[in-house]
């Protein structure tokens, strides 16, 4: 059995000790060879003196970066702005200017800002191609379902690359997928006349690493606190806990944004990291297609997704609403959160989610919360969907079209007639949520 795990190292050590080592060996018994084989494992023959000594590997003892400020730069993968830096000298001698994240982060962030999506550019080529096929061709090999699922994955690959894939399930009839006009996306599309995101006024924090929820200088934390204090809420820290779950769903969310200096693992970046739980799009018996939880429970106050659609001017929203009313289906959402209401009660924008809707329930398990990330205009929030309570496996995900107001203030329809009433040409579809407290209607 070999006593040395590193025989070459032991061999070098014996050579350096010279004669003293030889004298010591005579009193301690025979030594084994540093390199053993099956035929020489018990040999006591000393290695010849003319064997070449292994070359030593030189190791750098001093750090590459000596200046503490340089260490900070290296820790975040940057290049130092020091005038002695060879890269900086090479760039400047070639006529290029240098950028620093701390000094030029607003300029860098603006140059790499998300592209504004225009409603007129909503893709439809794939849908047109599928619609051109007859139903037998679309069903062959489950083609329509596979294409539909692949398109949803592609549409969200950039903004939530780690989200579990969404499956299409229909155990009710033979309709393979939702209508092909349905376009699943987390993007907000800007209609005619709606201003682009306001990046110039977007304020970011100067934190390094994850933001500290106890910070007294973080501008994002201060902005969140202003809205909490307006409602006399004494909550400490961000609106998220350490697990990324909402502490309260009655207030707008202000996440860190592209102008912030904090890292991606900051606890105030939740929505922008995308959905983390599996969901399905499933056909229901009475309510068409809906969104359902996957095989695992979704905890309360968890982010589910974006109520995505088109930003419309209020006038355009009114026009579309009249058309949708004729067949009793509408996904128009007026942006009239309490903190946006003015004395004239004028609504600026409406979101039309006709291409991607969710189902209503009088006893919802989710709620819509206004959220702001890369947008300084308070009139244009993201409509984020969070669970209000634990959502059981395979339970339908739904929210109330009435909002989260007092149920006593909402209209009740006590009739047992299943027919949808018509008033002034508008069809008022009966609510089919099946909840014990169902009001019978879906609209105010």
Q: What is the mean pLDDT of the chain?
A: 76
Please report which confidence band the pLDDT of residue 7 belongs to, taking 50, 70 and 90 as the band edges.
Answer: very low
Please check whether residue 47 is in contact with residue 33, taking contact to mean a CB–CB distance below 8 angstroms.
yes
DSSP result, 96-136: PPP--HHHHHHHHHHHTPPPPEEGGG---HHHHHHHTS-HH
Average pLDDT (77-96) is: 65
pLDDT at 334 over 80: yes
Decide: 311 and 190 in contact? Cβ < 8 Å: yes
Q: What is the mean pLDDT of residues 104-126?
A: 72
CA-wise closest residue to 426 among 349, 337, 347, 322: 322
> Under a CB-based contact definition with an 8 Å cutoff, are residues 278 and 164 in contact?
yes
Other CB atoms within a 10 A radius of the CB of residue 229 amount to 11
Confidence of residue 5 (pLDDT cuts 50, 70, 90): very low
Which of the pair, 21 or 163, is modelled with greater confidence? 163
- Kindly tell me the burial class for residue 245, based on how many C-beta atoms sit within 10 Å of its own C-beta (0-12, 13-18, 19 or more): middle
Q: 422-434 as b/e, with b when 16 or more CB fall inside 10 Å? A: eeeebeebbbbbe
Check whether 170 has a pLDDT greater than 80: yes
For 174-203, what is the mean pLDDT? 87
| Residue-level pLDDT at 64 | 41
Report pLDDT for 25.
42
Q: What does the alpha-carbon distance between residue 366 and residue 383 come to, in Å, rounded to a whole number? A: 12
DSSP string, 254-271: E---TT--B-TT-TT--G
Answer whether 406's CB lies under 8 Å from 412's CB.
no
CB 385 within 8 A of CB 366: yes
Residue 119 has pLDDT above 70, yes or no: yes
Res. 30 pLDDT band, cuts 50 70 90: very low
> Higher pLDDT residue, 382 or 16?
382
Phi/psi at 367 (nearest 5 deg)?
-145, 160
Type and span of the H or E element at 10:
helix 7-17
Structural element, H or E, at residue 371: strand 366-372
Dig out the tokens for 376 from the structure. 């300084």
Q: Is the pLDDT of residue 163 over 50?
A: yes
pLDDT band (50, 70, 90) for residue 254: very high
- Summarize the confidence of residues 205-223 as an average pLDDT: 93
Q: Of 134-143, 179-188, 208-217, 433-442, which range is least confident?
A: 433-442
Q: Give the model's confidence band at 44: pLDDT under 50 very low, under 70 low, under 90 confident, else very high.
A: very low
Question: What tokens appear for 303 in the block?
Answer: 């982010």
Model confidence at 191: pLDDT above 50? yes
Give the model's confidence band at 23: pLDDT under 50 very low, under 70 low, under 90 confident, else very high: very low
Give the CB-side neighbour count of residue 383, counting CA atoms within 13 A: 28
Predicted confidence (pLDDT) per residue in 339-398, tens digit: 887 766 678 899 988 755 556 677 889 999 999 999 999 999 999 999 999 999 999 998
Given a cut of 90, whether residue 255 has pLDDT beyond it is: yes
How far is the CA of 431 from the CAs of 34, 96, 358, 363, 401, in angstroms?
86, 64, 14, 12, 11
Among the residue ranges 28-37, 175-184, 334-343, 428-437, the one predicted with the least confidence is: 28-37
What pLDDT score was predicted for residue 381?
A: 94
The answer to whether the beta carbons of residues 283 and 168 sit under 8 Å apart is no
**Hey, CA dihedral for 294, 299, 300, 305, is it positive or negative?**
negative
Helices (H) and strands (E) in the chain, counts: 10, 16
> What pLDDT band is residue 186 in, cutting at 50, 70 and 90?
confident
User: Residue 378 has what pLDDT?
Assistant: 92
Return the pLDDT at 38: 39
Q: What is the pLDDT of residue 386?
A: 96
Taking the CB of residue 37, how many other CB atoms lie within 10 A of it?
8
Stronger pLDDT, 413 or 227, i.e. the higher one: 227
Count of positions (residues) in the chain: 444
**The most confident of 41-50, 146-155, 324-333, by mean pLDDT:** 146-155
374 compared with 236, residue with greater pLDDT: 374
pLDDT tens column, 290-322: 899 999 999 999 999 998 889 999 999 888 888
Q: What is the pTM of this model?
A: 0.70
């Amino acid at each position: 059995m070999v006593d040395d795990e590193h025989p070459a190292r032991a061999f070098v050590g014996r050579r350096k000790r010279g004669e003293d080592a030889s004298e010591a060996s005579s009193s301690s018994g025979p030594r084994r060879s540093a390199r053993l084989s099956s035929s020489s494992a018990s040999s006591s023959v000393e290695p010849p003196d003319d064997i070449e000594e292994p070359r030593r590997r030189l190791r750098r003892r001093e750090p590459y970066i000596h200046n503490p400020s340089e260490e900070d730069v290296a820790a975040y993968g940057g290049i130092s702005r020091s005038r002695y830096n060879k890269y900086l000298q090479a760039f400047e001698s070639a006529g290029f200017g240098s950028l620093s994240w701390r000094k030029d982060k607003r300029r860098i962030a603006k140059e790499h800002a998300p592209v504004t999506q225009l409603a007129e550019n909503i893709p439809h080529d794939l849908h047109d191609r599928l619609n051109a096929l007859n139903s037998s061709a679309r069903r062959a090999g489950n083609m329509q379902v596979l294409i539909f699922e692949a398109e949803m994955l592609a549409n969200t690959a950039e903004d939530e690359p780690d989200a579990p894939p969404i499956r299409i399930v229909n155990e009710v009839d033979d309709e393979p997928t939702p209508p092909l006009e349905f376009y699943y996306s987390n993007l907000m599309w800007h209609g005619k006349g709606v201003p682009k995101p306001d990046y110039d006024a977007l304020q970011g924090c100067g934190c390094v690493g994850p933001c500290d929820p106890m910070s007294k200088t973080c501008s994002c934390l201060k902005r969140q606190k202003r809205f909490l204090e307006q409602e006399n809420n004494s909550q400490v820290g961000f609106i998220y806990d350490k697990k990324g779950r909402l502490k309260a769903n009655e207030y707008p969310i202000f996440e860190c944004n592209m102008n912030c200096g904090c890292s991606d693992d900051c606890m105030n970046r939740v929505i922008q990291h995308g959905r983390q739980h599996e969901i399905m799009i499933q056909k229901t018996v009475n309510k068409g297609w809906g969104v359902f939880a996957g095989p695992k429970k979704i905890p309360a106050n968890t982010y589910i997704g974006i109520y995505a659609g088109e930003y419309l001017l209020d006038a355009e929203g009114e026009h579309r609403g009249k058309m949708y009313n004729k067949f009793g289906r509408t996904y128009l959402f007026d942006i009239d959160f309490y903190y946006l209401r003015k004395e004239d009660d004028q609504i600026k924008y409406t979101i039309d989610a006709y291409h991607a809707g969710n189902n209503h329930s009088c006893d919802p398990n989710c709620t819509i919360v206004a959220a702001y990330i890369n947008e300084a205009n308070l009139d244009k929030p993201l409509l984020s969907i969070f669970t209000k309570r634990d959502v059981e496996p395979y339970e339908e995900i739904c929210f109330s079209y009435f909002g989260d107001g007092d149920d006593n203030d909402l209209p009740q329809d006590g009739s047992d007639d299943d027919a949808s009433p018509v008033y002034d040409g508008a069809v008022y579809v009966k609510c089919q949520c099946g909840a014990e407290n169902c009001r019978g209607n879906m609209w105010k």
